[in-house]
Amino acid sequence: MIALSAETEALAERLAAAQRLPVAEAVRLAIEEKARIAGIAPGPSRPRDQTAAAIAARRAALDRFVAEISSMPVRDARSPCEIIDDLNAL
């Protein structure tokens, strides 16, 4: 947690009241605005490419990931139910 001076807390509370927002939200929005001005905040996210080629590329990447995970060795020969039962016993 960040220790703030009483003056800073009072200013944050006045800002929040003026915007009719919770204090944490008002402070976050103010910091995000200053960060954007300084060029350090992420910009708005771009919409996902919905072209057929982009969708096919994402599916292919996911298929490669699933194949990689599927090829990993099994380290625990117990069934999932047995593993969960052991975890629940803890």
Q: Residue 88 — very low, low, confident or very high, per pLDDT cuts 50/70/90?
A: confident
pLDDT of residue 43: 66
Rg (CA), the chain: 25
The least confident of 12-16, 20-24, 36-40 is: 36-40
Segments in the chain forming alpha helices (H): 6-19, 23-38, 52-70, 80-89
Whether the pLDDT of residue 16 is over 90: the answer is yes
The full set of domain ranges for the chain reads 6-38
CB–CB of 15/26 below 8 Å? yes
